Amino acid sequence: MIRKGDNMKLYNTLTKQIEDFIPHNPKQVTMYTCGPTVYHYAHIGNLRTYIFEDVLEKNLEYLGYDVKRVMNITDVGHMTSDADTGEDKMLKGAKRENKTVWEIAEIYTKAFFEDTEKLNIRKPLIVEKASDHIDQYIKIISKLLEKGYAYIANGNVYFDISKVTNYYQLSEKNKEELIIGAREDVELDVHKRNPHDFGLWFTSSKFENQIMQWDSPWGRGYPGWHIECSGIALKFLGEYLDIHCGGVDNIFPHHTNEIAQSESYLGHKWCKYWCHGEHLNNASEKMSKSKGEFLTLSLLEQKGYKPLTYRFFCLQSHYRKQLVFSYEGLDIASQSYNKLLNKVNNIKKSAEGEINKEQVFKYQELFKEALRDDLNTSNALTILYDVIKDEELNNNTKLYLIADFDSVLSLDLLKEKEEKIEEELINYINGMIEKRNKAKQEKNYKEADRIREELKEKGIIIKDTKEGTIFEINK
């Protein structure tokens, strides 16, 4: 239970204010995060958004909440424009690789989770494929038609945005501005009553080779992208959602449309807090999967960066600030991250002292204060550095706090150390074996036996075999 006054402060895109976070049910926070469109690898910009969401979830847990988080996998219905125009992203991927859309979805879903695992992004409790919940979308769309919020035109079902008040609240865009924007769109759908009405169900597709199709009361077809997130969120998290997240590009039209259709369906307010992560951009242009260097996590790894260096890079900045990617910036983050790991290694090497509970409490409060302040991860990192350099803290207290903070930061601050120790130990053993072989070649058996004994005292047993000397570590 969270004490009064200890509430997290979170910026809410809906009200444009930093608000006290108070969930509907104090026992469990419900959180929905838009998942990837699995037509290609995620770029590191996409991954920045998932890092932010991961930290938000872990931070809420750190503050004492139980979090139920759901994420979808968009494997159908997402157009390149985010509205109803442009190419179908999944078909684009299938064409590019000469595979079926189902194969593409499988390949890139797997790749997505490989990336997120490397970044210590925890898989949400519930992950659902958009294509697995067609009945749910049909149920919602039927009710929207029944209530007069939707209409059928040219075989498709559209949502009528003129039927809702506050349609533009989340995006803060004004209607006229958007209509001018829409006029520039060459593919204006003439069947829509308003240019910003959006497709709930399509039967009449401009994509002849659309193989993802299902039967519906309006004919064989497929759902629009927006209804998928509303459908999955309502099915798994109920009628009252606490937090809905995504990147800022999701504000309009995706999340705007989610609010319109969900609240029209439910007949009441749906989600309380809308949280958006700012973009990671290239210095000169928008990050893209098709133009410029396609910045993936694997590319960074090929260039020698540890995936967690990228996580560290992101945590150094605030999630609501745009972040510009550059290799120089990543190099600086890499140096700082390695220095941090070394500092922790040194503390671990001389672990001593009884854990000082008062100091633990004091620093945990400071760490929480930073995170409660609209998820200020860079201030949270400063608290970590303060712990490391506090001369009054003994090393066991420091290690306790480092492990504790890492449950939110997930930078493998202590794990890395173990790997390093292992590596150092192996280098030491190999060096000793080499020395012993040299001694044997020189017929200095006394020295060879001494080396064997020295290793034995450390719990390392060596054996000479036909393949050479092998060793065993008795821990």
93 binds ligand AMP (CB under 6 A): no
Shortest distance (Å) from residue 475 CB to Zn ion: 48
Closer to ligand AMP at the Cβ: 33 or 394?
Answer: 33
45 binds ligand AMP (CB under 6 A): yes
Shortest distance (Å) from residue 323 CB to ligand AMP: 8
Partners of residue 472 on adjacent β-strands: 461
277 backbone dihedrals φ, ψ, rounded to 5°: -90, 135
At 109, the amino acid letter reads T
Q: By three-state DSSP, how is residue 233 classified?
A: helix
77 binds ligand AMP (CB under 6 A): no
Q: Which bin fits 69, alpha (ψ -120 to 50), beta or left (φ > 0)?
A: beta
46 binds ligand AMP (CB under 6 A): yes
279 binds ligand AMP (CB under 6 A): yes
250 binds ligand AMP (CB under 6 A): yes
Closer to ligand AMP at the Cβ: 37 or 356?
Answer: 37
Q: How far apart are CA 285 and CA 22, in angstroms?
A: 38
Q: By three-state DSSP, how is residue 130 classified?
A: helix
Part in contact with ligand AMP (CB under 6 A); list of ranges 92-100, 150-158, 272-280, 392-400: 272-280
34 binds Zn ion (CB under 5 A): yes
Part in contact with ligand AMP (CB under 6 A); list of ranges 46-54, 55-63, 90-98, 433-441: 46-54
Shortest distance (Å) from residue 381 CB to Zn ion: 30
Part in contact with Zn ion (CB under 5 A); list of ranges 33-41, 271-279, 290-298, 360-368: 33-41
170 binds Zn ion (CB under 5 A): no
Residue of 94, 287, 333, 411 that binds ligand AMP (CB under 6 A): 287
Nearest CA among 23, 1, 21 for reference residue 12: 21
Q: How far apart are CA 215 and CA 219, in angstroms?
A: 6
Contacts for 143 with CB less than 8 Å, ≥ 6 apart: 265
412 backbone dihedrals φ, ψ, rounded to 5°: 50, 45
Q: How far apart are CA 218 and CA 198, in angstroms?
A: 16
Residues between 204 and 233 that touch Zn ion (CB under 5 A): 229
Can you spell out the DSSP letters for 266-308? HSS--EEEEEEEPPEEESSS---SSSS----HHHHHHTT--HH
Report in angstroms the alpha-carbon separations of 120 from 29, 113, 116, 311, 409: 21, 10, 6, 8, 9
Q: How far apart are CA 221 and CA 206, in angstroms?
A: 12
34 binds ligand AMP (CB under 6 A): yes
Closer to ligand AMP at the Cβ: 133 or 279?
Answer: 279
Shortest distance (Å) from residue 209 CB to ligand AMP: 22
Residues 163/149, Cβ–Cβ less than 8 Å = yes
Q: How far apart are CA 143 and CA 265, in angstroms?
A: 7
Shortest distance (Å) from residue 225 CB to ligand AMP: 9
Residue of 93, 124, 247, 307 that binds ligand AMP (CB under 6 A): 247
Shortest distance (Å) from residue 48 CB to ligand AMP: 4
453 backbone dihedrals φ, ψ, rounded to 5°: -65, -40
Residue of 19, 185, 249, 404 that binds ligand AMP (CB under 6 A): 249
Closer to ligand AMP at the Cβ: 115 or 412?
Answer: 115
Shortest distance (Å) from residue 163 CB to Zn ion: 22
49 binds ligand AMP (CB under 6 A): yes
- Residues lying near Zn ion in the complex (CB under 5 A): 34, 229
- Residues lying near ligand AMP in the complex (CB under 6 A): 34, 36-37, 45-46, 48-49, 74, 246-247, 249-250, 277, 279-280, 287
